[in-house]
């Protein structure tokens, strides 16, 4: 049995080298056992200071993970040669509570310096936001690395506008391997938090260019919104996303059923046939919503840089982070299905090689034969899974036409900041 030990070590080593980052629960149990309780404690403090802040932090997971994977790129400020994501169309004057993440980072640095990534902080904090406001609690997978770079353009191209309809959202989430049910459940995140009048002005006064409000709005609710957001309003004024904005519950779905969804992208989930059944189900069965939501958040947290390689590679070379270069090389432009296939293939091949080696080694009573067969298996596996072979790219990602970005309501500030950079 003892020859199995070196196998296991070799196997684990190879697994780590080839996949780069493996996410798993209790990743910091040795290096920073207090990590999860520190994060929860800081989130509690933040919630006491301002109830809304935990919702704002939870939103960061969505905006981080959808844009080149969960790598904390959303937290990076602009630099002279990089336009960060903070000022992207969906984020500018909208994403907030970055200081909560800073506080968490500070507390973690004190307890265990240079150990916990910001990408993992966002994931833990989002889970805590939900658990602390009455929603489900779940185990998070950890072990993410932080990105050195961010892409405003990618954020602009990917993040959905509040005008989006259900069909569009279904297609968008599908690109990230998220099902219709995942999408509807994840939209239930809007059970906590607020949105600006800016995000609904078109809906109240000129839905689809009709010059009229969205007919799906329940009249009394529409009057309420008209009052909150009159045409002359400061569009930074905010209103609650559902009737119970500091409690994570299924009220959001009940509101959608009665035509009281705040955003167009919310209400469309009930007006559309493809998603209505899920909205109904979640509005009647909170436990089912909680299950689906936790599952969706874990899947969202699993997103790793899908096409980041091309952008990251050059930045990583400049910054010379060897593990990152390797990851960039391995994963460059490989599609999601390809990445999954690679991981499965690698595991299967290594197990087969191990089994064959042990059986033959045992039969021939030769340790050398066993090691040789296994080494051969490892070489073969490497040849099959390390290069980015064409058959890993049979499902190319179809990214949004950049013109989609035009459909986002565009604050002037974005244009101003772009000008500033193009002048230099
Ligand atoms: C399905 C597509 C989605 C669309 C179109 C969308 C859009 C929006 C918009 C427009 C706002 C208000 C922004 C503002 O007015 O400043 C908002 C707020 C929010 N979103 Fe989403 N969102 C989506 C999915 C998600 C997901 C998947 C999550 C989390 C997992 C999330 C979490 C939040 C939270 C918590 C808020 C409130 C933030 C606060 O109070 O600061 N959203 N979303
Ligand atoms: C949904 O939105 C997309 C893109 O914005 C548009 O092409 C499509 O016609 C819309 N579908 C419906 C049913 O309104
Ligand atoms: C409504 O939207 C349409 C198309 O986007 C635009 O042409 C029209 O001027 C808008 N009407 C008002 C009152 O803003
Ligand atoms: C909201 O506030 C920000 C910062 O104070 C300002 O730059 C922006 O123009 C305001 N946006 C709107 C839509 O009024």
Q: What is the pLDDT of residue 3?
A: 55
Q: 248-271: b or e for each residue (b if 16 or more CB lie within 10 Å)?
A: bbbbbbbbbeebbbbbbbbbbbbb
Take atom 10 of ligand 4 and give the residue whose Cα is closest.
236
Written as one string, the DSSP assignment of 336-397 is HHHHHHHHHHHHHHHHHHHHHHHHHHHHHT-HHHHHHHHHHHHHHHHHHHSS--GGG-SS--
Instruction: Pick the more confident residue, 155 or 411.
Output: 155
From the CA of 167, which ligand is nearest?
2
Q: Kindly state the percentage of the chain with pLDDT values over 90.
A: 71
Give ∠ CA 30-34-38 in degrees, rounded to 5: 150
User: Average pLDDT, stretch 184-212?
Assistant: 97
Is 78 within any annotated ligand binding site? no
**Alpha carbon distances (Å) from 256 to 190, 216, 288, 292, 302:** 11, 10, 17, 18, 29
Q: Is 186 in the pocket of ligand 1 (CB under 6 A)?
A: yes
> Over 90: is that where the pLDDT of 312 sits?
no
pLDDT digits (tens, 9 = 90+) for 153-197: 999 999 999 999 999 999 999 999 999 999 999 999 999 999 999
> Over 80: is that where the pLDDT of 335 sits?
no
> Over 80: is that where the pLDDT of 338 sits?
no
Collapse the DSSP code of 238 into the 3-class scheme (helix H, G, I; strand E, B; otherwise coil) and give the result. Answer: strand
Least confident of 134-143, 291-300, 399-408: 399-408
Q: Is 91 in the pocket of ligand 1 (CB under 6 A)?
A: no
User: How far is it, in rounded angstroms, from Cα 235 to Cα 204?
Assistant: 13
CATH topology agreement for domains 31-158+396-424 and 160-302: no
Q: Which residues are CB-neighbours of 300 under 8 A, at least 6 positions away?
A: 61, 62, 65, 66, 70, 176, 178, 186
| d(CA 245, ligand 1 centre) in Å | 12
From the CA of 187, which ligand is nearest?
1
Name residues contacting ligand 3 (CB within 6 A). Answer: 206, 209, 211
User: How far is it, in rounded angstroms, from Cα 208 to Cα 186?
Assistant: 25
Q: What is the pLDDT of residue 345?
A: 86
pLDDT digits (tens, 9 = 90+) for 385-407: 877 777 776 665 444 444 444 45
Residue from 296, 299, 314, 305 nearest 335 by CA:
305
Is 321 within any annotated ligand binding site? no
> Over 70: is that where the pLDDT of 307 sits?
no
> Over 80: is that where the pLDDT of 207 sits?
yes
Give me the chain's average pLDDT, please.
85
Identify whether 63 is a catalytic site residue: yes
Q: Which of ligand 1's atoms lies nearest the C-alpha of 193? A: 40
In CATH, the architecture of 31-158+396-424 is Orthogonal Bundle (1.10)
Residue 408 bridge partners (DSSP): none
Q: What is the pLDDT of residue 158?
A: 97
Pocket-testing residue among 157, 162, 165, 264, ligand 2, by greatest number of atoms within 8 A of Cβ: 165
Is 73 within any annotated ligand binding site? yes
Take atom 7 of ligand 1 and give the residue whose Cα is closest.
162
The terminus-to-terminus CA distance of the chain in angstroms comes to 66
Q: Tell me the backbone φ, ψ of residue 8, rounded to 5 degrees.
A: -60, -40
| d(CA 52, ligand 4 centre) in Å | 19
User: Average pLDDT, stretch 53-71?
Assistant: 97
Q: What is the pLDDT of residue 337?
A: 65
Residue from 119, 105, 131 nearest 302 by CA:
119
Indicate the burial class of 47 (C-beta count within 10 angstroms; 0-12, 13-18, 19 or more): buried
Q: Is 208 in the pocket of ligand 2 (CB under 6 A)?
A: no
Residue from 106, 109, 272 nearest 184 by CA:
272
In CATH, the architecture of 160-302 is Orthogonal Bundle (1.10)
Length of the chain: 424
Q: What is the pLDDT of residue 395?
A: 61
Q: What is the pLDDT of residue 328?
A: 33
Least confident of 79-83, 304-308, 383-387: 304-308
> Over 90: is that where the pLDDT of 322 sits?
no
Least confident of 102-106, 109-113, 193-197, 308-312: 308-312
For residue 15, name the pLDDT band (cuts at 50, 70, 90).
low
From the CA of 206, which ligand is nearest?
3
Q: What is the pLDDT of residue 195?
A: 98
Name residues contacting ligand 4 (CB within 6 A). Answer: 93, 198, 234-236, 411, 413
pLDDT digits (tens, 9 = 90+) for 259-286: 999 999 999 999 999 999 999 999 999 9
Q: Which residues are CB-neighbours of 310 under 8 A, at least 6 positions away?
A: 328, 332, 333
Delimit the domains of the chain by residue range: 4-20+311-388, 31-158+396-424, 160-302
């Amino acid at each position: 049995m003892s020859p199995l030990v070196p196998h296991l070590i070799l196997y684990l080593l190879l697994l780590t080298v080839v996949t780069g980052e493996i996410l798993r629960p209790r990743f910091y149990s040795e290096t920073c056992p207090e990590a999860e309780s520190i994060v929860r404690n800081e989130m509690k403090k933040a919630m006491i200071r301002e109830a809304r802040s935990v919702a704002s932090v939870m939103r960061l997971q969505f905006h981080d993970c959808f844009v080149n994977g969960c790598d904390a790129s959303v937290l990076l400020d602009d630099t002279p040669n990089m336009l960060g994501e903070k000022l992207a169309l969906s984020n500018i004057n909208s994403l907030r509570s970055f200081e909560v993440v800073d506080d968490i980072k500070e507390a973690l640095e004190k307890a265990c310096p240079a150990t916990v990534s910001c990408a993992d902080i966002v994931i833990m904090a989002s889970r805590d936001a939900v658990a602390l406001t009455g929603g489900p609690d779940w185990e998070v997978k950890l072990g993410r690395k932080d990105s050195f770079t961010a892409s405003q353009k990618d954020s602009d191209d990917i993040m959905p506008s509040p005008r989006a309809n259900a069909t569009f959202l279904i297609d968008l989430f599908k690109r990230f391997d998220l099902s219709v049910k995942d999408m509807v459940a994840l939209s239930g995140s809007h059970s906590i938090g607020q949105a600006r009048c800016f995000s609904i002005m078109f809906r109240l006064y000129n839905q689809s260019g009709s010059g009229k409000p969205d007919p799906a709005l329940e009249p009394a609710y529409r009057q309420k919104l008209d009052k909150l957001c009159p045409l002359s309003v400061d569009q930074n004024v905010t209103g609650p996303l559902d009737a119970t904005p500091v409690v994570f519950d299924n009220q959001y779905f009940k509101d959608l059923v009665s035509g009281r969804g705040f955003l167009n992208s919310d209400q469309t989930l009930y007006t559309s046939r493809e998603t209505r059944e899920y909205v109904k189900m979640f509005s009647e069965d909170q436990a089912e919503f909680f299950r689906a939501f936790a599952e969706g958040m874990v899947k969202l947290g699993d997103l790793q840089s899908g096409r980041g390689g091309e952008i990251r590679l050059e930045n990583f070379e400049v910054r010379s982070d060897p593990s990152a270069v390797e990851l960039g090389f391995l994963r460059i432009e490989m599609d999601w299905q390809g990445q999954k296939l690679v991981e499965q293939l690698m595991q299967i091949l290594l197990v087969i090689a191990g089994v064959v080696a042990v059986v033959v080694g045992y039969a021939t009573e030769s340790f050398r034969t066993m090691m040789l067969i296994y080494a051969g298996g490892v070489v073969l596996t490497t040849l099959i899974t390390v290069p980015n072979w064409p058959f890993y790219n049979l499902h190319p990602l179809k990214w949004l036409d950049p013109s989609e970005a035009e459909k986002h309501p565009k604050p002037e500030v974005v244009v101003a900041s772009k000008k500033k950079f193009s002048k230099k």
